[in-house]
Chain A
Amino acid sequence: MSRNLKEDLRRLVGLESHKPEKGEYTPRARELHDTKKLKKADFDKLKADAELHRRNKRWRRRRWAVLAIVNVLFVLSYRVDVQLVEGSLSGSRFLGIHLIDLNAALQVMLAHKHIIRNLLIGTATIGLMWGLFGGRTFCSWVCPYHFLSELGEKLHLHLAAKRLVKDHPLHRGLRVVLWGVFAGLAYATGFTVYETISPTGITSRLLIYGPGLSALWLVALLAFEVLYSRRAWCRYLCPVGLTYGAVGTFSPVRVNYDLEKCFHEQDCRKVCLVPHVLDVVVKGRATDVHVDIGPDCTRCGMCVDTCPTGALTFSVKGITRH
């Protein structure tokens, strides 16, 4: 296993990444780390440039558009009987093809212990799709709770700037523990315990089938994120995120990091939902000139929008040339 993959997987399960040993750098990367120094004038120029770039929300616009279209299609399919994607995010049919959420499928398989063909087909289709487009791409481009949480994050940052609230980070290992506990509970009790609190399923059903008591749980969760812990659900808790993260481990769609262009300002990490995937931008961490960002990355493109020097870009393995 390559060093980078090993580090990616460590980060995925909530462990801290290692600093590279001396011998692990490629010669060119070594040279870049040794020679790159920033002059005051360059730094100020970069800052001014960054201010300009900050208004660039290209990827966020695209992403929100996709997220809205997908979720509105679900709603219209039922409400106006368009019948394009029947069902909800946990399971649906797109033009007759079964699509089944991987984590929901896992819970059902473990709880019911009897797997029928359509369940396998739907799971395989979705697994293939997100394996290709990058597992956690689902999170930022499709999951409706992610969108609500993004709005909550804006509010959190606004209040935090006024010193009214403070972020309380949690340990990312909790997500792995929860994933294991919920899988174990499903198998042992025969109930899909996780679906009771799954904000993904709940938000999707609320949008499609109308309001209900479960909205209170979403409100409570959002309040927790706004007032206490920034993006807590997607960052530290969501087992769905871990499932999709694992599925996207070998996905060709990546955000790619270019050491040569990077000035290690770390603005990208400030906007990132999962800043640990950007550990590589810390000076001295990148072992090669080009490094793919790991599977916990949701491919949301916020870092791409934010980076003032264009060191982070979307890439497709085998197509994009560096």
Chain B
Amino acid sequence: MSEDPKSGSPPPAPAPAEPAPAKRLDPRALEERRRFLRTAAVGCGLMGLSVAGALPVALRQAQRLRPPGALDERDLLAACIKCGQCVQVCPVEALKPADLSDGFGVGVPYLEPREQACDFACDVGQCILACPTGALTYHKPASLPTRPGAELVQAPVLRDKQSGSDPAMQFKERMGLAYLAAPEACLSVQGKGVQGKPRGEHRALKRYVEVDRWKPVPLAEHPYQLERCDLCVRECPVEGAISIEQKAGPDGVARATPVVHELCVGCGVCEMLCPAEPAAIRVRPRDTWEGA
């Protein structure tokens, strides 16, 4: 304390000459009391630490892109048992278990599409089939809510499976939605082509049916020769999700522009392949279709 505001007041009364004898605890009771306090402190500390896991969940600005068939974010965090079986079965290793920085979301699978998108190389949604708790599911219980615009108008048809008897995947909600984030950077809009590797030496995997249906190859081993870039449309795994259309830019001049349609599931293959750096087309995780 720096200064006593009542400096004029007399000093506190001196302690009585003979203080009442303090109650002596025997050492055993004293240790018992100390142990109780320690225990309470450790218990509170542990509760504090675990509840702090709410912070990353509450503060997360950019949402995580979740695997196909994932329940809505809150339900996903509740239902996911954090075992990583989905991570293990993915043929292109698109899924990662989240780290402790995700708080309550630790161990929950997510993808970073620019690094590795989900190209449905498994054909069936292996991650959905592997999930033991229904956090990723083809059969979402009716009691769980669906955000408007997250629902897919029809089951996504895989272009690689179109010749088969059952080309559709039965998941009902999109993971997110692709959008042309930087039209001016888009090679198609600029009228440019792709000669060689679209992502340089990037090791992201992609399944090419014409190469090997069961063995995805690194992008760096699959060069392109394109007069005009249309990679996002050419390689989109879902039928009717994106096309290139003549669209007027801000200057009023019509150019060949990628346009995302309602069938987009948000898998991120377009973002992974986009030769522009950073990607001109990107996926907004958990974005909904507003009826463009």
Question: Is there contact, CB below 8 Å, between A118 and B133?
Answer: yes
Contact stretch, chosen from B17-25, B102-110, B172-180, B269-277: B102-110
Quick check: B78 and A86 within 8 Å, CB to CB?
no
Counting CB contacts under 8 A, is A301 at the interface? no
Return the CB mask of A118-142 against B: 1 if under 8 Å, else 0: 1100100000000000000000000
Q: How far in angstroms is the closest Cβ of chain A from B107?
A: 6
Could you tell me if A192 and B54 are in contact, using CB atoms closer than 8 angstroms?
Answer: no
* Distance in angstroms between the alpha carbons of A77 and B53 in the assembled complex: 30
Which parts of A148-189 form the interface with B (CB within 8 Å)? 168-171, 173-174, 177-178, 181-182, 185, 189
Contact B132–A170 (Cβ < 8 Å): no
Docked pose: A89 CA to B107 CA in angstroms: 12
A171 touches B36 (CB 8 A): yes
Give the distance to chain A from B231, nearest Cβ to Cβ, in Å: 30
Q: Is the interface of B mostly helix, strand, loop or mixed?
A: helix
A212 and B100 contact, CB distance less than 8 A: yes
Decide yes or no: A88 and B83 within 8 Å by CB, A205-B97, A213-B101 being known contacts: yes
Q: Which residues of chain B are near A111, meaning CB under 8 Å?
A: 77-79
The interface residues of chain B lying within 8 Å CB-to-CB of A195 are: 82, 104, 106-107
Task: List residues of chain A with CB within 8 A of the CB of B104.
Answer: 191-193, 195-196
B40-80 vs A, CB cutoff 8 Å, 1 = contact: the mask equals 00110011011101100100000000000000001101111
Closest to A182 in B: B50
B78 and A91 within 8 A (CB): no
Q: Shortest distance in angstroms between B79's beta carbon and chain A's nearest beta carbon?
A: 4
Q: Is the CB of B106 within 8 A of A196?
A: yes
Are A193 and B100 also in contact (CB < 8 A) when A91-B133, A174-B39 are? no
Q: Are A237 and B42 in contact (CB under 8 A)?
A: yes
Query: Is residue B130 contacting chain A, with contact meaning CB distance below 8 A?
Result: yes
Of all chain B residues, which has the CB nearest A117?
B134
Q: Are A209 and B132 neighbours in the complex by a CB distance under 8 Å?
A: no
> Is A26 positioned at the interface, with any CB of B under 8 Å from its CB?
no
Asked whether, in the complex, the Cβ of A196 is within 8 Å of the Cβ of B50, the reply is: yes
User: Which residue of A has the minimal Cβ distance to B134?
Assistant: A116
Contact B36–A192 (Cβ < 8 Å): no
A192 touches B78 (CB 8 A): yes
Q: A116-B133, A195-B106 are in contact. Are A87 and B88 (CB under 8 A)?
A: yes
Decide if B84 is an interface residue (CB 8 Å cutoff).
yes
- Complex Cα gap A114–B76 (Å): 12
Given A87-B88, A114-B143, A209-B97, A98 contacting B132 (CB threshold 8 A)? yes
Complex Cα spacing A98 to B101, Å:
29
Report whether A191 and B57 are in contact in the complex, using a CB–CB cutoff of 8 Å: yes
Chain B residues in 8 Å Cβ range of A145: none
With a CB–CB cut-off of 8 A, which chain A residues contact B137? 116
Task: Assess the B46–A178 pair: CB atoms within 8 A.
Answer: yes
- Chain B residues contacting A236 (CB-CB under 8 Å) are 39, 42
Verify B100–A205 contact, CB threshold 8 A: no
Count residues on chain B whose CB falls below 8 Å from chain A CBs.
Answer: 46
The size of the chain A interface, using a CB distance under 8 A, is: 58
CA distance A170 to B40 in the complex (A): 9
CA distance A88 to B82 in the complex (A): 8
Does the CB pair A181–B47 fall under 8 Å? yes
Given contacts A92-B83, A193-B53, contact A171 B35 (CB under 8 A): yes
In the complex, the answer to whether B107 meets A190 with C-beta atoms within 8 Å is no
Q: Is B124 an interface residue (CB 8 A)?
A: no
Contact of A119 with B47 in the complex, beta carbons under 8 Å: no
Interface residues of B in 199-256 (CB under 8 A from A): none
A247 to B77, CA, bound (A): 27
Q: State whether B85 touches A197 (Cβ < 8 A).
A: no
The yes or no answer to A144 lying at the interface (CB within 8 A) is no
The stretch from A63-71, A100-108, A250-258 touching chain B is A100-108
- Cβ-closest chain B residue relative to A90: B83
Is B184 part of the contact surface with A, judged by Cβ < 8 Å?
no
Sample 27 A-B pairs with CB under 8 A, ordered by A number: A77-B88, A88-B82, A89-B83, A90-B81, A90-B107, A92-B83, A93-B132, A111-B77, A111-B79, A119-B134, A169-B35, A170-B38, A170-B42, A177-B43, A182-B50, A190-B75, A190-B78, A191-B53, A191-B77, A192-B78, A193-B53, A196-B50, A196-B53, A202-B106, A205-B84, A212-B100, A236-B42
Besides A201-B107, A205-B82, 18 new A-B residue pairs in contact (Cβ under 8 A), listed by A number? A86-B89, A87-B84, A88-B84, A91-B81, A93-B132, A98-B132, A104-B82, A112-B79, A168-B38, A169-B35, A178-B47, A190-B74, A192-B81, A192-B104, A193-B51, A193-B53, A196-B104, A214-B99
B residues whose Cβ falls under 8 Å from a Cβ of A: 35-36, 38-39, 42-43, 46-47, 49-51, 53-54, 57, 74-75, 77-85, 87-89, 96-97, 99-101, 103-104, 106-107, 130, 132-135, 137, 141, 143-144
